[in-house]
Amino acid sequence: MSTTTTTVPSAGPAAGSHSIFARLRTGDEIARLITFIFAASVVLISLLLIFELWRGSVLPRHKFGLHFFFTDVWDPIFDHFGARPFIYGTLITATVALVLAVPLGIGAAIFLAELAPQRISDTLQFFIDLLAAVPSVIYGLLGVFVVVPIMRQYVQPGLQHTLGFLPLFQGPAYGVGFLTAGFVLAIMVIPYIISVSREVLLSVPRNQREAALALGATRWESTWKVVLPFARTGIMGSVFLALARALGETMAVTMVIGNTPTISASLFSPGYTIAAVIANEFSEATSDLHVQSLVELGLVLFLLTFILNGLARLLIVVTAQRGSGTAQA
Amino acid sequence: MKRIAGKLLIFVAFCSLAVYLVSSIDLAEQTVLAQSTLLINGAGATFPYPIYSKWFDEYHKKYPNIQINYQSVGSGAGIKQVTEGTVDFGASDGPMNDDQLKAYRDKYGYGILHFPTVLGAVVPTYNIPGVKAALNFTPEALAGIYLGQVTKWNDPAISAANKGVNLPGENIVVVHRSDGSGTSYIWTDYLSKVSDEWKTKVGKGTSVNWPVGLGGKGNEGVTGLVKSTPNSIGYVELIYAAQNNIDYGAVKNASGAFVKANLASVSAAASSAAKEIPDDFRVSITNAPGKTAYPISSFTWLLIPEKFSDAAKRDAIKGFLKWALTDGQSYVENLSYAKLPKEIVAKESKVINSIQ
Amino acid sequence: MSTRLRWRKFVSHFMLTMTGVCAAIAVSVLFFILGYLVYHGGTSINWDFLTKLPTPVGEAGGGMANAIVGSAKLLFLASLLGVPFGFFGGIYLSEFSGGKIAFVVRYAADLLNGVPSIVIGIFAYSLVVLPFKHYSTVAGSFALGVMMIPITLRSTEDFLRAVPRDLREGAMALGASQWRTIVSVVVPAAYRGVITAILLALARVAGETAPLLFTAFGNRFGSPGWNQPTASLPVMIYTYAIAPYDDWHRQAWAAGLVLLGLILVINIAARAILARGIGVPRS
């Protein structure tokens, strides 16, 4: 479903007037100026944000340099800080989240785009949109009281019995840890994958599907072998979007991850993410180096999500253009 | 134009209604109090939070125009925020070290005072399904558990002191603080005194590089984790274990006796310090001498700046401090904190008057 | 029918059923969350809960009146920041700007949109809390307002752009100046979309916890005025949920129900407004 965007020719200044005061007398110029100020302020705020992050992390950048990213130690007593366990935790939980959410999300999107009649598809999408609106702390609440006990009592021991030969599922079952955090994150990002993938799939031109069916493919085959590959880039965009969301998630993660900077092959191990450590330690870091190391972590997170969001948008736009380029409704 | 005016009017009316509702609730709160409210903000230790929240509540009942808003965010945050000036006072069970004191003085030109308020104990609390007895812990056992060297509950280091208790062969889930904590300071201070390996490897502080374990936020978070995680051990202030019905153990003190934390044993630990407490009240009483002393006891301090620019706040805080040291002490024992020794109260009262 | 064909048909039916299962699972999560909150928190929402202040630690009872009012004030002030910048900025992008400036502004808005909320918290702390030396409702609102800006900006721009050219040209043909056209014709045509955008932005930041941790801080009492720390629903839920007291858990569920209920109501209302609107397509 593509939107027809009508581009409005932007009105230039009233013809004939030259001096700025003369021009200002016309309401148009004032309106333009006022709205420009607001728009420019948005740019200013974002520049200020980057500037504050950069300025606020000057100490660790100078003291540790690139070593910051390869050190495991996080020691406020001896003033030694390294980002690796947090980067690891952030990436691992996001990976687990995607492994769980992507198949489920794309499956649901296929159902909504290909199979469900319009009304049902719209209704279900409505519910999915509501799911996306649930705040992080509520997921955290359910995580602590529902997911963690289930993980500790059933899921983790179960995985250990069946797949315990893999280093992924070894170690004591705390309930909290990478696996639980990844699971909760998966639930949080599914709506994004579904919404965007559904839109992308709907924008695939009908003739593609019809051609496949005409050639004798079953509906599944037409979806799997023709429609999905066509929409592949857009779906990847949705995955990147979901990934960006997962990386920045704070509250739900800090309530279920165990808050221990560890790098471990086991998913049962407690860990830490960048967002979680900032939330826990920022208001109490006393030494300047400690605070600024946390700010540097914030900067790293910012850059990661920034790049991912950019890529996501690019991919989604590319797919939309491909779709409308060959569209014949 | 009329249509827009109409809609605009509705919109403005709606917003005004919202503002009206919000501010009238505000106003209602304020008019209940005859005079204008004085709001004082403090932040810090979770260790004394139960008694502080009781105190501030009672004090507010006594003087309804004084609201002392205390946020239990951890001693580390308390020190940081009072140094930044974002709160009016701090609270910590790990006294500020010389560097932090100097940083404060450099920043403001005057110093910050430590006022002991109550005595408390940090207890090793555990949740072992099937074990209801109070376990005995030797210093070696505790250090070993927290260093990650003692990994199972039936390890000889633990079982040797607990003959007759059927300890399971389960892995010990170690819980520590994830935030900057005075309780951690007390715990690591004790471990540094009884274990050289701990002292060199980890050290003492409000935030250390823990060799093993899960992190919980605040005494509340650690208690929550221990309560819900089988075979776990954590360290919390006594009242948190007591209020939440989780078992806590006895610890072997410097004289060799296994002592459980209670009012008497905590007071015994403070008695030797009472006479010789330094003028700035910063003292550690962990591993104190005495047969009945509980080895992981500590004072907890309110961190009060020497000078206040706001006279009303200064007077309110001074008034509160005086109340806390006298009437306030009658509430502490109900919450399992020990009263301050009389000598210390007397000394503090003199210092209160020096706050400008 | 050959076996191969039968197999392929079976696979097709099976996989498509599985996609239905996926969709069912995804949607059922919403109802599970709601149901759980209603079950655990529903009974705790009573008059006490809505009107009383919290009691000292360990004592049962009390309520979250200060958190509810605090959240209301935070959101109100946040919209004062987020809505004008987003709305007028969106007008600029759709009506006045050339390609380059529009690109930069949009880029900046997308950048702000993607920033994790905890980083916004750091930003607000260094910009508002430190210079003024205390936690405050203003600081919390600043953080939330900054988060609202990109949402309202992009949506306003999209909805305004979607208003058909004919409307604008008609107004101009009648002699209206550009700003007059915007005020009298374009914005009213798109107002449903804009209101939807504002409501959705509000719903989004209503649940945010992380940026409030070191800006609004927290308060056991009500917070008169705008310059003091304030309690808020999301932070209360967080604090109570990780504590060991069962009574606090009970209150956390109730607060969760209140918060989620509010957010869902705003979302549903926003979409209802949009659905009834004249054919302004959703982007």
Mean of pLDDT values over A264-290: 87
Residue of A nearest to B90 (CA): A284
Residue A26 CB burial class (10 angstroms; 0-12, 13-18, ≥19): middle
Residue A77 has pLDDT above 80, yes or no: no
Q: Nearest CA to B340 among B299, B287, B289?
A: B299
Q: What pLDDT does residue C20 have?
A: 92
| C-beta atoms of C117 and A255 within 8 A | no
Q: Do residues C64 and C255 touch, judged by C-beta distance below 8 A?
A: yes
For Cα atoms C189, C195, C196, give the angle at the middle one, nearest 5 degrees: 105
Across chain C, what does the average pLDDT equal?
A: 86
| Range of A302-306, B137-141, C195-199 with top mean pLDDT | B137-141
B131 — pLDDT class (breaks 50, 70, 90): confident
Q: Which residues contact B149 (CB under 8 A, 6 or more apart)?
A: none
How many CB atoms within 10 Å of residue C43? Answer: 11
Q: What is this model's ipTM? A: 0.86
| C-beta atoms of C244 and B240 within 8 A | yes
Across chain B, what does the average pLDDT equal?
A: 87
Structure tokens at A326: 């060959």
* Higher pLDDT, residue C133 or B27: C133
Distance from CA of A266 to the nearest CA of B (A): 15
Q: Nearest CA to C235 among A238, A283, B45?
A: A283
Which percentage of chain B shows pLDDT scores above 70? 90
Residue A5 has pLDDT above 50, yes or no: no
Q: Do residues A291 and A282 touch, judged by C-beta distance below 8 A?
A: yes
For B175, the 3-state DSSP assignment is strand
Residue B22 has pLDDT above 70, yes or no: no
* Higher pLDDT, residue A172 or A152: A152
Determine the straight-line distance between the first and last CA of chain B, rounded to whole angstroms. 63
| C-beta atoms of B79 and A175 within 8 A | no
Quick check: B210 contacting A, CB < 8 Å?
yes
| C-beta atoms of A110 and C19 within 8 A | yes
Distance from CA of C164 to the nearest CA of A (A): 7
Enter the DSSP assignment of A45.
Answer: H
Query: What values do phi and psi take at A208, rounded to 5?
Result: -65, -50
Chains with 3 or more CB pairs under 8 A to chain C: A, B
Q: What pLDDT does residue B233 have?
A: 95
> How confident is the model over A9-24, as pLDDT tens digits?
444 444 444 566 665 5
Residue A308 has pLDDT above 70, yes or no: yes
> How confident is the model over B258-290, as pLDDT tens digits?
999 988 899 888 887 777 788 888 888 888 888
User: How many Å apart are CA C213 and CA C234, to the nearest integer?
Assistant: 10
Quick check: B180 contacting A, CB < 8 Å?
yes
Q: Do residues B261 and B248 touch, judged by C-beta distance below 8 A?
A: yes
| C-beta atoms of A76 and B83 within 8 A | no
Q: Nearest CA to B259 among B298, B299, B297, B293?
A: B293
> Which of C141, C184, C212, C220 should one mutate to test binding to chain B, selecting the residue with the greatest count of B CBs within 10 A?
C220
Residue C157 has pLDDT above 80, yes or no: yes
Residue B26 has pLDDT above 70, yes or no: no
Average the pLDDT over each of A75-84, B52-61, C131-140, C150-159 and give the range with the smallest value.
A75-84
| C-beta atoms of A283 and C177 within 8 A | no
Q: Do residues A93 and A267 touch, judged by C-beta distance below 8 A?
A: no
Residue B28 has pLDDT above 80, yes or no: no
* Higher pLDDT, residue C272 or B102: B102
Q: Which chain B residues have a beta carbon less than 8 Å from that of A259?
A: 178, 214-217
Q: Which chain A residues have a beta carbon less than 8 Å from that of C9?
A: 218
B24 — pLDDT class (breaks 50, 70, 90): low
A244 — pLDDT class (breaks 50, 70, 90): confident
Quick check: A175 contacting B, CB < 8 Å?
yes
Q: Which residues contact C40 (CB under 8 A, 6 or more apart)?
A: C250, C253
For Cα atoms A139, A280, B81, give the angle at the middle one, nearest 5 degrees: 135
A147 — pLDDT class (breaks 50, 70, 90): very high
> How confident is the model over C207-237, as pLDDT tens digits?
999 999 889 888 888 777 788 888 899 999 9
What residues form DSSP beta bridges with B215? B176
Q: What pLDDT does residue A233 have?
A: 85
| C-beta atoms of B22 and C242 within 8 A | no
Residue C270 CB burial class (10 angstroms; 0-12, 13-18, ≥19): buried
User: How many Å apart are CA C178 and CA A12, to the nearest integer?
Assistant: 10
Residue C37 has pLDDT above 70, yes or no: yes
Distance from CA of C222 to the nearest CA of B (A): 8
Greatest Cα pair distance, chain B, in angstroms, is 89
Structure tokens at B167: 């300890």
Q: What pLDDT does residue A22 have?
A: 61
Residue A3 has pLDDT above 60, yes or no: no
Mean of pLDDT values over A285-308: 88
Q: What pLDDT does residue B20 have?
A: 65
User: How many Å apart are CA B333 and CA B339, to the nearest integer?
Assistant: 7
Residue C144 has pLDDT above 90, yes or no: yes
B105 — pLDDT class (breaks 50, 70, 90): very high
